Structure 1
Amino acid sequence: MSAHTSIVAQLIDLMRLERMPAGTHLAAQKLADRLRVSRSPINAALQGLHDAGIVVREANRGYFLARDGSSLDADDKLIEQLAGEPDVVTRTYFSVAEDLLSGALPMECTEVQLRTRYGLTTAQTQALLARIANEGWVSRRPGYGWEFSSMLTTADSLLQSYRLRMALEPAALLEPGYRLAPAVIERCRQAEWHLLEGGMETDTADQLHNRGVSFHESLVEASGNPFFIDTIKRVNRVRRLLSYRSMRDRVRYRQHCEQHLEVLALLEQGLNEQASNALRAHLVSTLKNLGDIRNLLTSRTTTHGSE
């Protein structure tokens, strides 16, 4: 279980928030697509949930939920046990992010250097680099080694990503034929209530980031415009690194949740223009808050000199 606890926690979150009924088929590929991971960690996590009695496995059919997802709400001890501590790769991922942002890690390095610095195996190092490369803040150098993106190590990078989102996301809500399905509205609303009821203090940085990304991408996907959707997904992948550091200050999350709920209520009523204005106001407010906590996003240049 320890090698897959992050995925396990996300699967439990999904079951709880969507209140999946007992007997729901848990198709590995669909779950992998939802969580943006490969099928391998999904299958391993499902096996762990099977061992815990939360899912059942049927020959030649796959995994099925053994009990209602809503019943997991009351079983906090079991959920805590299953979620466990982040695995080695996840822990190292955050160490790399912090070291990169603070300037302790050089912008160019080799797999051997990373493996030695963080005490990883070859497989763990490759998994770490695969995750970071997928999120867009490291790339393989021609010939040898890896290079981190300098675009993602400054406070301005995160603020600029929000200005781009301010231009696109409110416009997506005004696209012809825009429709946010009731089931999606309910899923997003449940996620916000989870945070308001204590999740903003207890969720991991991964979970907080993924909830925010899921909300905003769900809104944009309802536009049906592939250009909006592709752009926002690319922005969300590359802003993850700096987004984690901004999560040190979680006080503002209550306001975020309330603003998200307001946008959902307006969309549910078909008031898309008002919802677009509310979404813009939300992003403007978030941008201001990020400016106020700029000291948490100190660039390498400011702290350690230009490289």
Structure 2
Amino acid sequence: MARQLADVLAANIHQHIASTGIAPGTRLPERALAEQFRVSRSPVREALRRLATQSVVTPHPDGGYAVAEGGVAPPANDTHAGRDDGDDSEATYLRIAEERLNGQLPDRFTENEMMRRYGITRGQLGAILRRMAQEGWVERLPGHGWTFLPVLTSAETYKQGYRYRLLIEAAGILEPTFKLDREALLKCRTEQEALANGGVRTASPAALFDANSRLHETIAACSGNAFILEGLRRLDRLRRLMEYRKAVDRDQAERRCREHLELIDLLLAGQQEAAADFLRLHLRNAAREKSEGHA
């Protein structure tokens, strides 16, 4: 099982590097990857070792690994399956999300039922289920089978989510306990800059959601208020599938990434009040644009 998890993580990390356009030489901290994929650091370390043997990452002079010159290329076809399982798995993953939102899937299901429904192998399904579990919208039942966890399913609750974010996110920047995590914000800045400079044109809906929610959660963590951070994390888990469902307007997505860069720069410059005002405007614009899109 540990070997399987490392294989899946290696593929996910490679896909993340390719889809977000992280520059060669960029260090890949184990802790940040473990938090992103919601696993412990041990499988991340093993996954990075495997990627090093594939020349996707390379040892960093200060320890750990960095993106190699060839690491930004998309993952090659899975040699075990003889075809591009990454693309197939992503398509199946998004189809499951869409059918769940459409009410076409029951609350509980077995692996055999899903294998038959989507025409995939147990190994392919296992990778998808692990990803869904890490993202917090399914969990394994104690005895047999799996269950879907609650998510936002209506346009009205989706709008309520944005109104909730308007209440808590900007307020978090103005908390008396706010303490800037410069290193974490700079990592987010590198990611957002890569997206704004072309990466957003090819990134999957999942990669865009992960990068953007990671930035907002990083800022919430700086608030020093555990309730603000936990509230946002819980909402992000609930709204994930609704975000996948919406048609991605690449121009709007690029503009939001550039706004993220402005927000980060305000915070790095110590302009908290200006950053809070900017964040409110950013969230209002994003809510309006997405409400006008396909639900």
Shorter-chain TM-score tier: 0.7 to 0.9
Unaligned runs of 5+ in 1: 58-62, 298-307
Q: State yes or no: 1:16 paired with 2:22.
A: yes
Counterpart CA distance in 1 for 2:147 and 2:182 is 43
| Preserved contact between residue 5 and residue 45 of structure 1 (Cα < 8 Å) | no
Task: Kindly state the Cα deviation for residue 128 of structure 1 after the two structures are TM-superposed.
Answer: 3.1
- CA distance in 1: counterparts of 2:29 and 2:222, whole angstroms: 23
Superposition deviation, residue 270 in structure 1: 1.8
What SS does structure 2 have at the residue aligned with 1:55? strand
> What count of residue pairs does the alignment treat as equivalent?
279
Q: Which protein has the larger Cα radius of gyration, Structure 1 or Structure 2? A: 1
Does the Cα contact within 8 Å between 1:220 and 1:229 map onto a contact in 2?
Answer: yes
CA offset at residue 289 of structure 1?
Answer: 0.9
User: Would you say the 8 A contact 2:20–2:194 is kept in 1?
Assistant: no
Answer whether contact 2:14 2:56 (CA < 8 A) is retained: no
**Contact 1:196 1:254 (C-alpha < 8 Å) held by counterparts:** yes
**CA separation in 1, counterparts of 2:182 and 2:271?**
14
Aligned match of 1:201: 201
TM-score by length of 1: 0.76
Structure 1 residue 200, shift from structure 2 partner = 1.1
SS class of match (1:224):
coil
Q: Tell me, yes or no, if the aligned pair for 2:21 and 2:72 is still in contact at 8 Å.
A: no
SS at match of 1:252: helix
**Cα deviation per residue 1:28-48 (whole Å; 9 max; x = unaligned)?**
566323432354466245313
Secondary structure of 1:33's partner?
helix
C-alpha distance 289-143 of structure 1, shift in aligned 2 (>3 A): same
Given the superposition, is the C-alpha separation of residues 189 and 135 from structure 1 closer, same or farther in structure 2, using an over 3 Å criterion?
Answer: closer
Is the Cα–Cα contact under 8 Å of residues 196 and 255 in structure 2 kept in the other structure? no
Q: Any conservation in 1 of the 2:38–2:134 contact (CA below 8 Å)? A: no
Aligned to 1:51: 54
Unaligned runs of 5+ residues in structure 2 are: 1-5, 78-83
Q: Deviations over 1:151-205 (max 9, x none)?
A: 4332233222222111110010001142323333332322222122111111122
Shift of 1:64: 4.1
2:28 is aligned with 1:35? no
Identity of aligned residues (%): 31
Look up the match of 2:13. 7
Alignment RMSD (CA, Å): 3.4
What is the distance in 1 between the residues matched to 2:48 and 2:117?
A: 28
Give SS of 2:98's match: helix
Aligned pairs for 1:113-132 (under 5 A) are: 113-132=113-132
Query: Once the two structures are superposed, what CA deviation does each residue of 1:82-130 show, in whole Å capped at 9, x if it has no partner?
Result: 3665265444221201222344434443332112111233454344334
Find the aligned partners of 1:135 and 1:53 in 2 and give their Cα distance.
24
CA separation of 1:177/1:14 partners in 2, compared to 1, >3 Å: closer, same or farther? farther
Q: CA 1:189 to 1:172, structure 2 compared with 1: closer, same or farther past 3 Å?
A: same
Give how far 1:251 is off.
Answer: 2.4
Question: What is the CA-CA distance between 1:231 and the residue it aligns to?
Answer: 1.4
Which amino acid letter does the alignment assign opposite residue 100 of structure 1? R
SS in 1 for 2:73: helix
Q: How far apart in 1 are the matches of 2:99 and 2:149?
A: 14
Match of residue 305 from structure 1: none
Cα distance in structure 1, aligned partners of 2:231 and 2:23: 27
Distance in structure 2 (CA, Å) of the matches to 1:252 and 1:275 = 20
The structure-2 alpha-carbon separation of the partners of 1:113 and 1:221, relative to structure 1 and needing over 3 Å to count, comes to same
Distance 1:17 1:135 in 2: 26
Q: Aligned equivalents of 2:154 and 2:115: distance in 1?
A: 25
Task: Look up the equivalent residue of 2:38 and give its one-letter code.
Answer: R
- Take 1:27 and 1:276, find their aligned partners in 2: how far apart are those partners? 28
Question: Quick check: 1:135–1:238 contact (8 Å CA) kept in 2?
Answer: no
Aligned to 1:137: 137
